[in-house]
Amino acid sequence: MGINLIKAVGIFLGLFVLTGGLSGCSKEPVTLQSAQIVENLDKGSGNFDRVLMICFNHPLTDTYYHKVTILTKESVKISGEGLLRPLASDPDNKCQLKNIYTYINKDSPIGARELIRDYVIPGNVSQILIQVYESEPEGKERPITERVFKNL
């Protein structure tokens, strides 16, 4: 009976390893490398004239959730959040491009679109806080990575 128990444990451990362990395991760790404000990426439509480029230590292979707070030198504050997904069209790219206008929400200042257009420009951003989570936080979850970028 002892040998059968050892075999059963061995089979269980083998299946455990093959299936990736417990469901709900952590996603691959990521590290924020850089952030940059990019303007006029859209060549004239005005919908992508302010873009935040967020670069990681390696291309994303899973979906993450992020929060961003942008503070300009005039103390204009824009905060928002959303998903970061792997890039199907460019899987080796370490950088994500996020339209800053998509961060506008009910808590944004009045005239947020104009504030972004006038103040969130390269050279006028005093700091950007980026926090990355495995999934949308429901409470007081800590980010898996966060970083403040200054003087962008």
Domain boundaries defined on the chain = 27-150
Tens of pLDDT along 29-75? Answer: 999 999 999 887 765 565 678 899 999 999 999 999 999 999 999 99
pTM attached to this predicted model: 0.78
* CB contact at 8 A, 57 and 139: no
* 3 confidence band (pLDDT: 50, 70, 90): low
CATH class of 27-150: mainly beta
Q: Write out the two tokens for 20.
A: 């990736």
Quote the mean pLDDT of the chain. 84
